[in-house]
A and B are shown apart, each in its own frame.
Chain A
Amino acid sequence: MLNIGKEKNGNELKLALEGRLDTTTAPQLEAEVKEGLDGIESLVFDFENLEYISSAGLRVLLFAQKTMNKQGSMVVKNCSEEIREIFEVTGFSDILTIE
């Protein structure tokens, strides 16, 4: 179960995720990211209500990060302790901007 809250403001996009980002729900976010990043210069992920992220979800974040590297910046906000740990373990904390 994943709910994606979208907030677009000019060239800024904020995606607030709620629920679990795993193999079943990752394609949902992937579609959102692939369609929605045109002309975006600032991408913010709000993970305040995200319970879990699997490797399939990390893959989508990696894709978003790579896209944003070319056209602006990407920030991940409000990570829970568990998700922060997953980022640490997988080394994603090295490539993501986590606030």
Chain B
Amino acid sequence: MARLRESIIFKSIAGIVLILSIFCMIVSWIGFEGFTDSLLSLYSDGAFRTAQTAARYVDADRINEFLETKGSTEEYQTAWENMDRLCNDTGVTFIYVIQPDLTDFGHISFLFSTINHETDYSEYAFGYTKDTTNEDYREKYKRLYNGLSDRELVIRDKGYIETQAHITAMVPLKASDGQTRAILCVQRQMDAMTQARRAYIHKVILVLLLLAVVVIIGQGIYLYRMLLKPVKQITEETARFARENVKTGKKLTKMIKNRDEVGQLAGSIDEMEEQIHHYVENLTTITAEKERISTELSLATHIQADMLPHDFPPFPDRTEFELFASMDPAKEVGGDFYDFFLVDDDHLCMVMADVSGKGVPAALFMMAAKIILFNNALLGKSPAAILADTNAAICSNNREEMFVTVWLGILEISTGKLTAANAGHEYPVICKPDGSFELFKDKHGFVIGGMDGVRYKEYELQLEPGSKLFVYTDGVPEATNAENQLFGTQRMIDTLNQDRNAVPEQVLKNVREAVDGFVKDAEQFDDLTMLCMEYRGEEAKDEKEL
């Protein structure tokens, strides 16, 4: 029931019925008033005409005589008979002549009283006195006696039951001196009028009821077909779409043929479903594609990581040196790399390199560079030759102008002699035994891949047992915090010197922690790659053998 009361159909029909009822009430009120007015004037006209005729039967100058004789004269009798005939001929109910008492008009005495024989009333005897019926009558008697008017009308059609609805027309009976001696009244029933009026009202109500029924049925059917059914279909369809998220075989515009706003709404919803479906499909494809790329990237990360030596300690049976390295790419794959391998039993080659740019392009270039460097190094060339030959190989096929900075050193394990060359890479850090970590400002050549035919200079460095070598990429000094400050080489050197006796693995850990502490929440922007080697020399080997 509550749902029905909330429905559009109920509301709109109730509204129409309400308006219809108000309209009918106004119409019937206007009709009622008009009816009453015109019938009343018709009734009163007739009554007054009858009254005037009757007045002519009574000679006002002889009223005193009638009183004295108590109506026993022949003249009175004639007048009475005429009046009685008039009463019955014109169809009025009563014709009577009265004299009110002149002190307060509170009583009336009957002089003449005739009645229509078709009614159940009986005449009043001559001289019969009764209380004035009400204030209305009293007022009117007074006016007639005081000469304020020469006709008065009392209408009694509302609210009381003692007699039927009637009007009373009153005219004064004036003597030749102009004084009112009595009042002649004609009372006429209004049954016909009230009946007609009632019939009229009944008709209006009946028409209203009929109209209301027609409106309820008609409007109900119309609204159901034009509004409620389509809206219901739209609601069901949108609910279905929200639930299932797939297109329907039956479009709303196929079910709802309206060209009105509801039809437009159906069209819009069809369109919206189409668009959302399209969008979802697109999104699914893109997500799948992204998933695929992400899977490939993670695979690429593994391949790249696997390319670098990653088992530590790398040479468990070589006690002459200890080495540790790490690479943390900023993206899934990076352009930095380190490498180390034994060229032969007495020579350890170490590489620290940084490819321009980041991500997949840098990673691809890094793979090529790493392999070429490795192959050249295995041929037993000097560091400078390795870099020069690598540069030549890379420059021959490098349209994208990628380049890589490389520090490459070869350690002669038996003597501690380090031969190295630098192709545009960061300065290495050396820590002599009992000394501190210091930047070693070596000679620089141009980056590899930048220009054909570049030559590199190499240099030699004697490492005493206990010496440490630390090489890194620019990800360390250029690590940036949220305030855009660089970590810098000075902070790096300071960090290294705080724990001079740390083993290589601990050295890398210390630097990493210092960088993380400095950068804090800022995103790691560049690849972070480090390598640390401690030379222990032949003595360490001997110690073990002993």
A binding-site residues for B, Cβ under 8 Å: 22-23, 26, 52, 54-56, 58-59, 62-63, 66, 88-92, 94-95
Contacts and interface: CB of A to CB of B under 8 A. Distances in A.
Given A62-B403, A63-B401, A55 B446 contact: no
B446 A94 contact: yes
Given A58-B447, A59-B402, A91 B357 contact: no
B108 to A, nearest CB: 115
B427 A89 contact: yes
Nearest to A56: B357
Interface range for B: 20 to 34
Given A59-B402, A90-B424, A95 B446 contact: yes
A30 to B, nearest CB: 9
B401 A55 contact: no
Contacts of A58: 356, 403, 447
Interface in B438-456: 444-447, 450-451, 454
A32 B151 CA distance: 114
B70 to A, nearest CB: 132
B99 interface: no
B474 A95 contact: no
Contacts of B474: 54-55
A66 B447 contact: no
Contacts of B454: 91
B427 A91 contact: no
B174 interface: no
Given A63-B401, A88-B444, A90-B444, A56 B424 contact: no
B526 A91 contact: no
Identify the interface centre among B355, B450, B454, B474: most chain A CB within 10 Å of its CB: B450
B451 A95 contact: yes
Contacts of B446: 90-92, 94-95
26 contacts: A22-B525, A26-B357, A52-B486, A55-B354, A55-B356, A55-B357, A55-B474, A56-B357, A56-B358, A58-B447, A59-B401, A59-B402, A59-B403, A62-B403, A62-B447, A63-B401, A89-B425, A89-B426, A89-B427, A90-B405, A91-B423, A91-B424, A91-B444, A91-B446, A92-B446, A92-B447
